[in-house]
Every structure is written in structure tokens, then in C-alpha cells.
Amino acid sequence: MVLALLAVLLTAAPAGAGAPKAYSFTFENGTTISGESDDNVAFLANAGGTDANNPTGMEVHVSCSDEFPGGFGEKDGPDPVVDSAWRIESYSIGEVKDGVYEEKCSGPPVPGEIEDGIGYTFTFVNGTTITGVSEDNTAFIPNAGGSDANNPTGMEVHLSCSDEFPGGFGEKDGPDPVADSAWQIESYEITEIKDFVVEEVKCSGNFGPPPPPPNPSIQIVKTVNGEDANDAPGVAVTVGETVTLGYEVTNNGNIPVQDIVVTDLDLGVIDCPATELAPGDSMTCDEAEMDVTEPGGVFMEARVDGNGIVSGTPTPAQPADGKAYSFTFVNGTTISGMSEDNTVFLPNAGGTDANNPTGMEVHVSCSDDFPGGFGEKDGPVPGVDSAWQIAAYTIVKDNGDTCGNVFSTVTVPVSDDDPINYIASPAPVPSIDLMKTVNGLDANSAPGPQFEVGEEIMIGYKITNTGDTDLSNIVVTDFTLGVISCDPGTLAPDEMFNCPGVKEIVTTPGSVFMEAMVEGTSPQGVTVDDDDPINFTVVDDTPPPLDPPADCSAVVDGMSVKISWDASAGAVNYAVKRDGTFLDRTGGATMFTDSPPKGVMVEYFVRAIGPDSKTDYVSCGKVTIPDDPDPDPDPTPPASCTVHVSAGVATISWSAVDGVKAYQVRSNGQWLVRVDAHTTSWTDDTDRGAYTVEAVYPGNVKSSRTVCESGS
């Protein structure tokens, strides 16, 4: 590949040109750069630096005298620190003569930076492995060190078997337990290099991954109606509803937690099934219920407190060689590691100050019982290491034997809190209305409309949702007819529904009162109802044994038709019809005037009405008013009419009109009384409402009706 790239690059060189240096470098970041140079140094503008994607430029020694040991230049770049992202993976260097490339040297860099020296391989707990060669006992490793595994700061390491790297940290140089916390050594090997070949393994160690440090932690999740509503507005509820508050506690650390107490900051201490949880365990505490009484947003918080048991945890894994150890001190610090001999130096422990350790040696042997938390052979020493008295320890040998003890319980307080939010809306107000009708009339008050025996009536039921929430399970019950067949489904607010009407034939004379009720249920389970009555009167209009009116005639008189007949014995009233339409009752008079449509032939009928019976209708003849008759002036009606009601008695008074022979009073269009021309008032013992008065002129000509207004 390298030769092919160079061949393409150099074929255009002019014949007879000098012998420039030609090169091709492939770097570990995947980039390949080829070119020519007139001397032994070439500047690569698009290479160099610590960022593969942002090269800073670097000079490279284009000479076979540079073997680029370890992928870095001996005389120029790439530099192991400055150009760490541009380590050479392979290279080819040659000359161009007469346009032909002649390779002088090539290959990967020599397998090591130094021909003879100390070889090393370090594998760190973050998973990184770094291998190299050094001329002396100290090597600077630029791509390791620091507290961030992804951003190494560089560190020096002592390449000597006199440093056992206790616990994965250096005794003389790095890694430092604090400064290089992300680069703790998991295993290492130090070798002797001769002519780039490993001649002898001088020493090695395998600490294994260290046990995780104690991480006391606890978590509470408070819920409302089963939801972890941490952020406002939260769960939507309604005033009047009862919300359920839940509490779930989890030990999310790696050590046991005891003395657990859950407190709702609004409701107080919450009962829980346990006071201690092992790592990873959870428990559900008692639920609490709370009535929602006011609208608006609500924020509530719960807290859990406990003590993490640090002593004796964690237990280290069995090592491949030597001993693994874990010491927990009374100050709450736990230090774990591995050693190949019986004594280990702990640089981050010892002394009288828990926050400023002086370092101390500890006898890592089951022959030392550490009585009272102090060492029998080495530290901690009473008085000298008073802040580092052992609370608990565990030692694990490579054969699996284990020893340890717990002298005192060291706890670390832990806590957590968690909120819930909910938003309460005003409680809905369900309401329903029923209108029961008879023949379309909302006849709430007696006597109501009048029907004849045998007449068919239609009873209707109109339902309206008059509340602000949906209603369902709607049932209409007529207290006379039973449950009505009606299925409106769910009615939204302000929605109406007309149930199918019920037809009935009235059979019994008299006053009738019928009532119906509707019920419906809101989504909140509230049932509402309403009732509504109707009133009507049934009369028996069976024809009485009276003689029908005789000699009835209908005569056109201008724009009116005058109907007259002979009186019937025993009659107290007469009813007049035009074609099939009832017009009026005459109150005993034997004359009636009507104004039918012009140009249309009509037929008039009259019948006699007695106290308990009535006759059939008889024809008075057919007449037609011409299209353009001579109009008669409208007879003058009373100018005004007033009704005064006192104690249920109505007195009707009206203004007099000249030239009349009588006045007639009606209520709701029904004739009540006829008085003579000298009378201008009349008293009704029952307030019927909707009174009118009309003037009656000679020839039984009637004026238009004057509406009687209510007087003060």
C-alpha cells in the first residue's frame, strides 16, 4: 500500500531532477501522509499534536538513521507528549531518481523506544494497558495519570522491583492514591530488555480489581396516585378527591443501611416494614391518604434518613498471588488493596489527623489479631495513629483462607428526599334537568290543557345536562308509566336529548297530575336527579240528548260572515266551527261573526251544549267572501284594560266605548262572560291570567280584543 501510494505520487517527477527524499507515514489514528522533501527534515502541516482531528503541524526526520522507536522520532517528531495522537504505525523512506522511487528503509517502528533497558507493562483498573521501555528506573508515561481516566495528565512510575506498588499505588513515584486515583494499577510486569528482546521477567504483580469503596446511599421515591410527579404541575386531581401517597425506599449503595426513618414533611413519620436494608434491597412503606380540599398546585416532600454500616465492608476478592486486604478505620475511611508480602505501606492512612494522613505500615497477616484495632507488629500504633484505629478488617489469602474481625461499628449518615406535585381543579358540579310535556306543552300548573275523553295525547321527556361535567347511566322514570325507553348515552355539559314520546288515550274525565324523574351519574360517581310534572284536564264531550240548532245560516256581510241559528231548548252554550277548525263558544248567544280568508269557500257548523251533554255539529252552509269586498271599518275596541288581583280574586276594568251593546271578557282565548254596555268592570273569583276584553256592537259585530295589563 505504501509503495503504491508513493508510485502514484512520484510518477510526475521530471527526468534528470535531483534525488529528493520521498516518504510515506501511516499513523495509529488511521491517517497516511506521503510526500517529498529536498532535505532530511519534512514539515507535515496536517499532522502533529494531541488531537487527531485538529493537527498542529510537526517536523519529521526523513532519514533511515531514525528508526522511530516506539513510533516516535529520535531527532524530530512525533514527540511522545506533544504529538501523542500521531504515533507512527508504519513508514517508508526512499529517494526519487529520474522519476523512479527507490525505497531505502521501511517497516513498523522498532519494538521499543530503547534497544537495551527496562521494559514495563501496566494494566490499570480503568482498563487501560500501557507498555514501554526505559533506560533508567523512572519512566514518564504521558498517556496515564490523573483523576480522570479519559483525560490523563501524565505521571512518573518507578520501574524497580523494590517498589511493590502496594494496593496498586507507587511507593516512590506514581500512581499517587489521590492525584492519580483513576490510574490505580491492577497488574504489572517489569522486564530486562536486550537488543529489543525481553531477556528476563524481573518482577510482576496482580492485584486484581480492587473492591469498590464503601458507598453508603439510600433513595426514597414518593408518589401520588402511583406517579413519581417530581415536577410541577404534576398529577391532575379534583377538589373532593382523595389522593394516595406512596413511599418506596431503596438501598442504592453497596453497604447495609440501618436506623431507617421515613418522614413526610407535611404528614410526619411514615410507618415502614423495616429499619435496615441490605444493598440493593427495597421496601414499600405504608401509604397515606389525603383529601383534596382546595384548588391549586400542591408541593409535598418526603425524606429518608439512615446510617450506612461501613465496618467490615467490602470483602476483597481472592487474589491470584499474595494477600488481599480491606481495612475500615474509625474515621470512616476504607482502604483496600493487595500485597505479595506481609507488610504494606499505606500512604493515605496513619497519624492523628483523619484528613491529613502521614502514612503507615500495616502487617497484612492473619498472625496479627490487631487487638483493640491496633497492630501487634506494625501500625496502627496507639497514640501515633489515633485517628486511624481499625474498626474492622478482612484479609484474604491466595489459597482462599480468610481472617478478619469487627471491633466497632462505624456508620455514615445517609439521607435522601423526593417531592411530589399535583394540581387540583375545582370539583365539577353535576346537574340535570327534565322537562316533561304533554302535546309539547310544559304544563307544570293545574288545570293545564283540556282534552276530551278518547283523545290521544303525546307525553314527551327532554333531558338537559345543566352541569359542568359529563353524565352517563341516565334513566328516566315516569311515576305513572314506569321506566321510559330512553338511551341518551353520555351527555356533555349543555347537551340535550329528547326521549321518544309515549302515546296515551285519555279515558277518564277529571284533572290529571303526572310526574317523571331523571337520574344521571358523573365520572366522579355523583348521582344527580330532577323531576318535572304535567297537568291536564279531561272532559267528556259525548253529545247530550239535545236538539241540534235549527235554521242555522251563514251570510256574507262585507268582509265578515254572520252565522245565526234558532235557540235549542236546554242549551247553555253553542260551539262554532269553520270547516274542521273550532272557532269559539258563544256563551249562549245565537249569533257569531267570523272573518274567513277571502276567495275561499268555507263551511260553518254549530252545535248546542247543555250542562251535561252536547249535540252533533250541524251545517250552516257554505259561503265565500269575494276577493275585493267593500271593507268595513274595524269596530273600535276598548282603549285600555287593567287587571287587579287581590287574595286570588281578579278584577278586570276597561274603558267605555260609544255605540256598543255589550262587552265580552275572555281568559286565554276562552269566553268567560258577557256584560251590558253600561258595565265596565267584572270580578273573577279565580285569577285565570291572560285576560282580554272586546266590544260587541249591534248586529253582534265584535271589535278586536284588548289585552288587559296588570295594575299596581
How many distinct structural domains can be found in the chain? 7
**Predicted local confidence at residue 15, as pLDDT:** 32
User: How distant, in Å, are the alpha carbons of 127, 607, 639, 703, 704 from that of 594?
Assistant: 115, 16, 22, 11, 12
Domain encompassing residue 331: 323-409
Average pLDDT over residues 94-100: 83
Which of 475, 506, 539 corresponds to the end of one domain? 539
231, 280: one domain = yes
Residue 99 pLDDT > 80: no
DSSP letters, 228-277, are: ---SSS-EEEETT-EEEEEEEEE--SSS-EEEEEEEETTTEEE--S-S-B
Q: Which residue has the cell 256574507?
A: 556
**Predicted local confidence at residue 312, as pLDDT:** 62
Residues 355, 358, 359, 360, Cα dihedral to 10°: -110
267, 360: one domain = no
Percent of the chain with pLDDT over 70: 93
101, 129: one domain = no
Residue 7 pLDDT > 70: no
11, 91: one domain = yes
333, 276: one domain = no
| Pairwise pLDDT comparison (682 vs 5), residue with the higher score | 682
Per-residue pLDDT of 56-68, as tens digits, reads: 999 999 988 888 8
Residue 603 pLDDT > 90: yes
- Give the largest CA-CA distance in the chain: 156
**Predicted local confidence at residue 313, as pLDDT:** 58
Residue 213 pLDDT > 80: no
Report residue 274's pLDDT band, with 50, 70 and 90 as the boundaries: very high
347, 295: one domain = no
| In-domain check, residue 317 | no
- Alpha-carbon distance 461 to 127, whole Å? 82
Report residue 163's pLDDT band, with 50, 70 and 90 as the boundaries: confident
- Alpha-carbon distance 341 to 163, whole Å? 12
Environment class of residue 545 by beta-carbon count within 10 Å: exposed (0-12), middle (13-18) or buried (19+)? exposed
Instruction: Of 94-103, 403-412, 504-513, give the range with the top mean pLDDT.
Output: 504-513
438, 533: one domain = yes
Report residue 613's pLDDT band, with 50, 70 and 90 as the boundaries: confident
Q: Is residue 36 within 8 Å of residue 21, measured between CB atoms? A: yes
End-to-end CA separation in angstroms for the chain: 118
Per-residue pLDDT of 232-249, as tens digits, reads: 999 999 888 899 999 999
Percent of the chain with pLDDT over 90: 50
Lowest mean pLDDT among 73-77, 203-207, 208-212, 477-481: 208-212
The cell numbers describing 550, all together, are 235549527
Which of 107, 126, 143 corresponds to the end of one domain? 107
Average pLDDT over residues 258-266: 95
170, 252: one domain = no
232, 194: one domain = no
- Alpha-carbon distance 652 to 675, whole Å? 12
| In-domain check, residue 417 | no
Per-residue pLDDT of 470-522, as tens digits, reads: 999 999 999 999 999 999 999 999 999 999 999 999 999 999 999 999 999 99
User: How distant, in Å, are the alpha carbons of 141, 257, 277, 584 from that of 251?
Assistant: 40, 7, 6, 94
The H or E element spanning position 21 is strand 21-27
Average pLDDT over residues 401-419: 90
| Identity at 531, one-letter amino acid code | D
| In-domain check, residue 332 | yes
Report residue 3's pLDDT band, with 50, 70 and 90 as the boundaries: very low
| In-domain check, residue 314 | no
| In-domain check, residue 46 | yes
Q: pLDDT averaged over the chain?
A: 87
| Pairwise pLDDT comparison (608 vs 634), residue with the higher score | 608
Residue 21 pLDDT > 90: no
Residue 209 pLDDT > 80: no
496, 584: one domain = no
| In-domain check, residue 181 | yes
Q: Which residue has the cell 389522593?
A: 243
Residue 71 pLDDT > 50: yes
Dihedral sign of CA atoms 10, 14, 16, 20 in order: negative
Per-residue pLDDT of 338-361, as tens digits, reads: 777 788 888 889 999 888 999 999
| In-domain check, residue 631 | no
| Identity at 353, one-letter amino acid code | D
| Contacting residues for 647 by C-beta, under 8 A, at least 6 apart | none
Per-residue pLDDT of 170-187, as tens digits, reads: 888 889 877 888 888 888
Lowest mean pLDDT among 231-235, 529-533, 594-598, 610-614: 610-614
What CATH number has the domain bearing residue 578? 2.60.40.10
150, 226: one domain = no
| In-domain check, residue 238 | yes
DSSP state of 373: G
**Predicted local confidence at residue 559, as pLDDT:** 87
**Predicted local confidence at residue 208, as pLDDT:** 63
pTM: 0.45
Environment class of residue 245 by beta-carbon count within 10 Å: exposed (0-12), middle (13-18) or buried (19+)? buried
Per-residue pLDDT of 280-297, as tens digits, reads: 999 999 999 999 999 999
**Predicted local confidence at residue 508, as pLDDT:** 92
Average pLDDT over residues 80-97: 87
294, 260: one domain = yes
DSSP letters, 103-148, are: EEEEESPPSSS-SSEEEEEEEETTS-EEEEEESSSEEEETT--SS-
- Alpha-carbon distance 145 to 179, whole Å? 8
**Predicted local confidence at residue 19, as pLDDT:** 64
Which of 76, 107, 138 corresponds to the end of one domain? 107
**Predicted local confidence at residue 17, as pLDDT:** 40
Query: Using DSSP, how many helices (H) and how many strands (E) does the chain show?
Result: 1, 51
